[in-house]
Amino acid sequence: MRVPSALFLSAAALMIPAPGAAQQPPAPAPAAVAAAPFVAADAAKVIEATATALEDSFVFPEVGTRYAAALRAKLAAGGYARFANATEFAKAVTADLQAVHEDRHLKLIPPSAGEPAAAGAGATAPRRSSMPRNAVTRSGWIAPGVAYIAFAAFPGNAETLAAVSAFLATHASAKTLIIDARQHRGGGLAEMDLMFAQLFARPTALVRMDTRLSVDQRDGTPDDEGPTLTRVSGPATVVRREHRALPAATATPLSTATVYLLTSNRTASAGEHLSLSLKRSGRATLIGETTRGAGHYGGEVPVGSGYGAWIPVGRTFDPDTGAGWEAVGVTPHKAVPAEAALDEALRLAGVGVDGKAALAALD
């Protein structure tokens, strides 16, 4: 069973405003979709398919085996025979898996009555309908010499990459850059690589990524291997890659700009990859809250009857300590409530205005 690889958080649909150079009025909330019905015969097949996927692909093989055994044991005991609907069944399975071993990406995703799961799920972990076309939710000059950009995700699509490139070109003279990842829900490496090319003056090793060997041999890399993501030596059971920042051929003032990264307890997955990369390299000061703690990358696989299982297949970690951020998050340099993080960044930047007023002026 193929496991698509990505860094996306397995959350519900992203609820974000329509993106643009400045924040636009929020889009209308989607109409509620009724839960799909629960069918016991389908559930039994879903449990077996999920157990097999975990055995074959979970980042830690021994934990994958434990997950599978627990699911099969409860199925045999009649524990998955009756639920009010498919959503309640998926919640119960997810809770059972988390009771075996906590992993903040792992979950069973139910079908909905109005939107069955896609057959292949592509390379994204949330269903594609949940990913923004342009994940830059706000950007611009927030104060003289201070550039600001906020992200909902790193989808790696053309619209978001174009918005990031345009922002970097327009704000190349910034003395201070504030990156707002407080609502960042996940993604890949492409947007990071664009920013890092401008922010770093010399090649810099950031973090390392271990993908389970059998998954890598079957499915390939978690992101495209290339100059910024290269294979390095590691244990025989994994394929290890190093994520590196490579400066642009022509340096800009951004390579010496002061950088502040704003975080919250909702900052997750690729947003945490960004956080650890900037923290470990010393390239930014992190301000806000400890991040979500969703540190294992992977993807959604179909497990039958419209259900999907989000299976983590690899881990990202600090090569100095060997530690990742799964279940613990990335701690900021300056701990403040998330809603005060922009105020603190502006204070440190010497701007005599609070975050609310600065954002109002940006709009």
CB atoms within 10 A of CB 235: 9
CA atoms within 13 A on the CB side of 281: 24
* Spatial CB neighbours of 144, under 8 Å, sequence gap ≥ 6: none
Token digits of residue 162: 């174009």
Note the pLDDT of residue 224: 73
Token digits of residue 82: 């009756």
Note the pLDDT of residue 84: 97
Note the pLDDT of residue 291: 98
Token digits of residue 187: 């993604």
Do residues 58 and 31 make contact, with C-beta atoms less than 8 angstroms apart?
no
334 inside domain: yes
288 inside domain: yes
Token digits of residue 322: 């060997």
Quote the pTM value.
Answer: 0.86
Per residue of the chain (363 residues), what is the pLDDT tens digit? 554 444 543 333 322 222 222 333 334 444 556 789 999 999 999 999 999 999 999 999 999 999 999 999 999 999 999 999 999 999 999 999 999 999 999 999 999 765 544 333 322 333 434 567 899 999 999 999 999 999 999 999 999 999 999 999 999 999 999 999 999 999 999 999 999 999 999 999 999 999 999 999 998 776 678 999 999 999 999 999 999 999 999 888 999 999 999 999 999 999 999 999 999 999 999 999 999 999 999 999 999 999 999 999 999 999 999 999 999 999 999 999 999 999 999 999 999 899 999 999 886
Note the pLDDT of residue 251: 83
CB atoms within 10 A of CB 3: 25
| CA–CA gap between residue 59 and residue 239 (Å, rounded) | 11
Note the pLDDT of residue 348: 97
Place of tokens 């990156």: 179
Domain that holds residue 341: 130-296+314-362
Note the pLDDT of residue 133: 87
246 inside domain: yes
* Spatial CB neighbours of 334, under 8 Å, sequence gap ≥ 6: 285, 286, 287, 288, 344
Note the pLDDT of residue 136: 98
Note the pLDDT of residue 302: 97
Q: Which amino acid is at 67?
A: Y
CB atoms within 10 A of CB 21: 15
Backbone torsions φ then ψ of 249, nearest 5 degrees: -60, -35
304 inside domain: no
* Radius of gyration (C-alpha) of the chain in whole angstroms: 21
CA atoms within 13 A on the CB side of 292: 25
89 inside domain: no
The domain total for the chain is 1
277 inside domain: yes
- Residue 288 DSSP symbol: E
CA proximity to 304, closest of 117, 160, 179, 58: 117
The C-alpha torsion from 56 through 124 and 259 to 162, rounded to 10°, is 150
Note the pLDDT of residue 131: 63
357 inside domain: yes
Note the pLDDT of residue 130: 58
| CA–CA gap between residue 223 and residue 233 (Å, rounded) | 18
94 inside domain: no
CATH of the domain at 291: 3.90.226.10
Note the pLDDT of residue 132: 74
**H/E element, 211:** strand 204-212
- Residue 227 DSSP symbol: T
Do residues 46 and 303 make contact, with C-beta atoms less than 8 angstroms apart?
yes
| CA–CA gap between residue 160 and residue 131 (Å, rounded) | 11
Buried b (16+ CB within 10 A) or exposed e, 34-55: ebbebeeebbeebbbbbbbbbb
Place of tokens 């704000």: 171
